[in-house]
Amino acid sequence: MGLDELLALAEDAAKKANDAIMQNYDKFDIFVKADRSPLTNADLAANDVIMSTLEPSGIAICSEECVLDSKRRMSEERFWLIDPLDGTKEFIARNGEFCVCIALIERGRPILAVISIPISGDIYSSNGGGVYKNGVLLARPTSAPQIFMQGHYSRSAKYVQFAQKFGMQLMCKGSAIKFCILAEGGASAYARFSDCSLWDIAAGDFLLHQSGGVVVDLKTMEAPLYNGKSLINNHYLAVGANAMKNLSEMLEFAKNF
């Protein structure tokens, strides 16, 4: 399959996952995984439909609910990297800030990505050449509100310090939806100064890059890689296209955290 066919397959998987999630929105059971994070029927239903939809591609799949072992991730030239329901806590809280993340990784970097938002039905996608929202190409942001985003459960004072340093308003937002907001020009930057998993950011990384922004690993000061031994990302900074002029200064400040 070519990249256009693979993107169409990923978009179809995301749409089906949206439906599966919303079918479980009004009534679901909550389980606790070994890492003490929550899991619901919606996570499992979305995972099942994504796995079955992507299977015909013949490409290995690494999902939060069905992890590909490190040897396979490090040796496969290509593999799908999926979070079937990013923001399970947001789903449980019914605040609408959860999404489906699908990325295709090639030699460590994403080459295709889809993020879908079940509540609205919006689908952000790209296989290069810009970002599409519901099939319409988004313009690259040239301006945006001076907003710095963090997750709802981030308690570190570092986020406040960063926002104050660069004269930004701090906004809490759940899940990888933050990357979609950056890609559309709805905010200027987002950072993660705590651990998260590879599947949490791979799709958002690619969409942001295709919109003219960037994600930088604060340990390597390079673009994140997704085919390493660990499933955990290093801390990172995500900057939208409109704020790229301040990237060097932001990185210099953030890396000291």
Q: What is the DSSP string of the chain?
A: --HHHHHHHHHHHHHHHHHHHHHTSSS--EEE-TTS-EEEHHHHHHHHHHHHHHGGG--EEEETTBPPPHHHHHH-SEEEEEEEEE-HHHHHHT-S--EEEEEEEETTEEEEEEEEETTTTEEEEESSSS-EETTEEPPPPS----EEEE-TT---THHHHHHHHTT-EEEE--TTHHHHHHHHTS-SEEEE-S--BHHHHHHHHHHHHHTT-EEEETTTSS---SSSS-SBPPPEEEE-GGGGGGHHHHHHHHTT-
Q: Write down which residue in 81, 105, 137 finishes a domain.
A: 137
Instruction: Pick the last residue of a domain from 113, 137, 161.
Output: 137
> Is 203 inside any structural domain?
yes
- Which CATH number characterizes residue 214's domain? 3.40.190.80
27 inside domain: yes
User: For residue 188, how far is the Cα from the chain centroid?
Assistant: 16
Clarify whether residues 194 and 246 are in a common domain.
yes
CA distance 152 to 104: 27
Count of all residues that appear for the chain in the document: 257
What three-state secondary structure class fits 225? coil
Query: Is the domain of 97 the same as that of 155?
Result: no
pLDDT at 34: 84
Asked if 91 and 176 sit in the same domain, the reply is no
Final residue belonging to a domain, choices 109, 137, 165? 137
133 and 7, same domain (yes or no)? yes
Is 226 domain-assigned?
yes
Same domain, yes or no: 107 and 175: no
In a domain, 11, yes or no: yes
Contact 148, 190 (CB under 8 A): yes
What is the structure's pLDDT at 20?
98
In a domain, 142, yes or no: no
pLDDT at 255: 84
Q: 94: domain range?
A: 3-137
The CATH number assigned to the domain holding 19 equals 3.30.540.10
Q: Number of folded domains in the chain?
A: 2
For residues 204 and 185, membership in a common domain is answered with yes
Residues 151, 41: one domain? no
| 58 shares its domain with 169 | no
How many Cβ atoms sit within 10 Å of the Cβ of residue 167? 9
Q: Judging by beta carbons within 10 Å of its beta carbon (0-12, 13-18, 19+), is residue 166 exposed, middle or buried? A: middle
30 in a domain, yes or no?
yes
Do residues 181 and 131 share a domain?
Answer: no
Tokens of 6: 């693979």
Predicted local confidence at residue 36, as pLDDT = 85
Residues 128 and 195 in one domain: no
Residue numbers in the chain where pLDDT is lower than 70: none
One domain, residues 15 and 123? yes
114 part of a folded domain:
yes
One domain, residues 106 and 173 = no
As a whole number of angstroms, the distance between CA 72 and CA 154 comes to 32
β 38-40/122-126 pair status: unpaired
